[in-house]
Amino acid sequence: MGKHSYFLKVNWGDTDAAGIVFFPNFYKWIDTAGHEFFGSIGYPSSKLYTEEKIGLPLLETHCEFKSPAFFEDEIELVTKVLEVGNKVIRLSHEFYRGDTLLAKGYVVRAWTNFAVEPIKAVPIPDSIRQVLEGLMESADQRVKG
């Protein structure tokens, strides 16, 4: 499993006056898909935080919009591991309506210890690093645009 798919249906409230998805919703969905991804590999954000006081805050985000999305569109959001650093992880996110690429982007998340003041990024444990790096090597390259 080199990728994780999160499926969503565009709601009326996700669109703007022109009837297309209002761009901040893509960032909301990216955040949700990132948390779903970590849960799918056995590291749900809620468990990391409650048991280990580890969080994955965003340090950087980027999104390119290729084609508009509309009310009731069914979208697949594909998440893949691009890079695993000492304390940070770069994930790609691609939005598809069928075979049409709607948007693509990435986020950088820090492996962060919330049990200390001030909070700080800490090294990603080797066991988790190995899982993430294994996913990076087997990631399916679906991006077309």
| Position 59 confidence tier, pLDDT thresholds 50, 70, 90 | very high
pLDDT, mean of residues 102-111:
97
In total, how many domains does the chain have? 1
In this structure, is residue 67 part of a structural domain?
yes
List the CATH number of the domain containing 34.
Answer: 3.10.129.10
**Which domain, by its residues, includes 130?**
3-137
Q: Is the residue at 100 inside a domain?
A: yes
Q: Residue 67 above 90 pLDDT? A: yes
Q: Which helix (H) or strand (E) holds 48?
A: helix 45-52
pLDDT in tens, 116-127: 999 999 999 999
Residue 46 pLDDT exceeds 60: yes
Mean pLDDT calculated for residue range 69-83: 97
> What is residue 124's DSSP assignment?
P
In a domain, 145, yes or no: no
Residue 79 domain-assigned? yes
Within a domain: residue 30? yes
List, in sequence order, every residue forming a beta bridge with 63; answer none if it has no partner.
105
